[in-house]
Amino acid sequence: MSFEIILKDLVNQVPKAIGAILVDWEGEAVMEHCYCDPYDIRFIAAHKGIVLARLKGMQDTARVGELEDVVLTSSGGHLIIGCIDQYYSLVMNIERSCPVALALYYFRLAITKLKGEV
């Protein structure tokens, strides 16, 4: 299964999804599927590295295990960031009214599929 199909399926399965993007360790877009201006989701994804670096620093201090994913909630929506491996991450942007548990279910399935592709 290709990156394109995995991302398209993810966005189509999650109600109120805005988009999903696969990024490398530098925040560069590898592939995206979105219902917004691709620049917007690329901009968000480019900054995910800052968030992950901070969280991984806390993870090392707290010794709580390896970071898998995180949900950031704002007044406008939710951003889900997940680690595929040390080089790649998946970022998904969803509207605030989207059920987060459902989004996480499909997000984690997509992570598993992407792990088989990278």
110 and 90 in contact (C-beta within 8 Å)? yes
Domains of the chain: 3-115 (3.30.450.30)
Say what angle helices 100-115 and 3-13 make with each other, to 10 degrees: 170
Position 32 scores a pLDDT of 94
- Would you give the distance in Å from CA 37 to the centre of its chain? 17
Identify the burial level of 22 via C-beta atoms within 10 angstroms of its C-beta, where 0-12 means exposed, 13-18 middle and 19 or more buried. buried
- Read off the pTM: 0.88
Q: What pLDDT, in 10s, does the model give residues 25-83?
A: 888 889 999 999 888 888 888 877 677 667 766 666 666 677 788 898 989 899 999 98
CA–CA gap between residue 57 and residue 67 (Å, rounded): 10
According to DSSP, residue 94 is labeled E
